[in-house]
């Protein structure tokens, strides 16, 4: 049982560092052995639930670098894996009252990627209102670095 991972960084961490991080920081049922070929990191899971957990995580950060996981086996052709999408939680806070609307947030965040799960405030306004959205992002398409929100004063 294997999972393939690719770091989204021109200088990915060395295999011994990745192995050390997994051994010391990850909760796992059995050991996970890491190897690397080309840009692909292979995570050999000794327990099926560890394999499933990595696939469910999809995207995470190791040593300050983003890594995307995909299911594979020893017969998988790496170039056939879709590693161009990542899944992230995006948090938006500090919005003015006029933008504290879930429909508005969904419309705006739809420009970033495909929305999978939305968490925000409902009827009452908390002290620090924020939206959290699980977004699938295609890494081939450039991200919007910022956007302009027109604020009107009365």
For residue 99 the two structure tokens come to 């933008």
Residues 4/64, Cβ–Cβ less than 8 Å: no
How far is residue 145's CA from residue 77's CA, in Å, rounded to a whole number? 34
Q: Determine the Cα–Cα distance for residues 80 and 60; give it in Å rounded to an integer.
A: 21
User: Which range is least confidently modeled, 65-79, 82-96, 116-130, 132-146?
Assistant: 116-130
| 2-7 vs 32-37, strand pairing mode | unpaired
- Over residues 71-117, the pLDDT tens digits come to 988 888 888 888 888 887 777 777 777 777 767 777 777 776 666 66
For the chain, what percent of residues have pLDDT higher than 70? 79
Cα angle 126, 128, 129; round to 5: 70
CATH no. of 2-83 = 3.30.70
């Amino acid at each position: 049982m294997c999972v393939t991972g690719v770091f989204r960084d021109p200088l990915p961490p060395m295999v011994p560092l990745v192995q050390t991080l997994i051994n010391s920081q990850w909760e796992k049922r059995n050991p996970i052995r890491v190897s690397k070929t080309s840009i692909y990191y292979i995570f050999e899971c000794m327990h099926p639930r560890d394999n499933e957990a990595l696939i469910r995580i999809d995207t995470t950060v190791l040593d300050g670098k983003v890594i995307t996981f995909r299911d594979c086996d020893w017969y998988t052709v790496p170039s056939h894996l879709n590693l161009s999408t990542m899944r992230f939680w995006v948090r938006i806070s500090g919005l003015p009252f006029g933008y504290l609307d879930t429909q508005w947030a969904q419309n705006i965040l739809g420009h970033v990627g495909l929305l999978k799960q939305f968490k925000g405030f409902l009827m009452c306004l908390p002290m620090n209102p924020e939206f959290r959205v699980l977004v699938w992002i295609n890494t081939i398409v450039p991200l919007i670095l910022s956007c302009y929100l027109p604020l009107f004063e009365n």
